[in-house]
């Protein structure tokens, strides 16, 4: 649930990175944190367990726009992926304004991905919310490893709500910023509709759009308005780039 701070003229939205153990949730957040300017981010906090940890920090994007004259601050959280930490995952999901589901693209991880996505669906419902109504982006991570499932198979298995999706190699930052920008823009759009705030046409046009299909991460890089003012320092220049998203329906 979004929090309003009238003294600082800021509202805070919560985005949770969800997925099976070792899928790359922590790697995503660590990359984002390490590459944000110090002036716009808070301190990263960690709640450690014996086998996993929950990370969270907040940051203030410079180009998201305002709601009710307030700047939008984003809090990013990870959840522990192991099955026996379900109560922690459910607690972290409470009040979430958006979710990034990080899937491990290796074929042998398909069942673990599906179990985790079903668990996400159940835990969101436990808070009286339908996942289909929550801003959701899916990230297909580890696209640099062998024995990969195809994007088509991953989508057919996991993307039951036709959410925007991106391919990624989180260890090098590829796809990390695109995923983050997509979910924050969906959250902003959701909040402007929820609080009945008129949104400028230029901002609305930047919301994730639906391509005919997701291009491969190996496709030639393209440039446009979305990367003209990046929040993060760019990852090392490579020929591979994150996939474009599908829009939610």
pLDDT tens digits along 199-229: 444 455 555 654 334 445 544 333 233 333 3
pTM of the model: 0.80
Residues 129-150: tens digit of each pLDDT: 999 999 999 999 999 999 999 9
Report how far apart the first and last C-alpha atoms of the chain are (Å, whole number).
22
Cα Rg of the chain, angstroms: 17
Please name the CATH architecture into which domain 3-227 falls: 3-Layer(aba) Sandwich (3.40)
Strand pairing class (10-18; 70-78): parallel
What is the pLDDT at residue 136? 99
Residues 8-24: tens digit of each pLDDT: 778 889 999 999 999 99
In terms of C-beta density within 10 A (0-12 exposed, 13-18 middle, 19 or more buried), how is residue 88 classed? middle
């Amino acid at each position: 649930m979004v929090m309003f701070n009238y003294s600082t003229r800021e509202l805070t939205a919560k985005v949770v990175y969800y997925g099976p153990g070792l899928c790359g949730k922590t790697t995503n957040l660590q990359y984002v944190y390490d590459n944000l300017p110090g002036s716009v981010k808070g301190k990263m906090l960690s709640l450690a367990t014996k086998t996993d940890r929950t990370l969270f920090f907040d940051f203030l994007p410079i180009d998201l726009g305002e709601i009710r004259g307030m700047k939008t601050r984003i809090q990013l959280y990870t959840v522990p992926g192991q099955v026996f930490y379900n109560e922690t995952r459910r607690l972290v999901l409470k009040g979430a304004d958006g979710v990034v589901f990080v899937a491990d693209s290796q074929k042998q991880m398909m069942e673990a991905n599906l179990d985790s996505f079903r668990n996400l669906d159940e835990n969101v419902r436990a808070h009286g919310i339908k996942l289909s109504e929550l801003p959701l982006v899916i990230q297909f991570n580890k696209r640099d490893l062998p024995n990969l499932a195809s994007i088509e198979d991953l989508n057919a298995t996991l993307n039951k709500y036709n959410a925007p999706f991106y391919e990624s190699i989180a260890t090098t930052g590829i796809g990390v910023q695109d995923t983050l920008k997509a979910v924050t823009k969906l959250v902003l759009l959701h909040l402007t509709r929820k609080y009945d705030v008129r949104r400028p046409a230029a901002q609305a046009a930047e919301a994730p759009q639906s391509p005919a299909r997701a291009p491969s991460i190996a496709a030639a890089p393209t440039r446009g308005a979305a990367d003209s003012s990046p929040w993060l320092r760019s990852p090392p220049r490579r020929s591979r780039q994150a996939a474009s998203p599908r829009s939610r329906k």
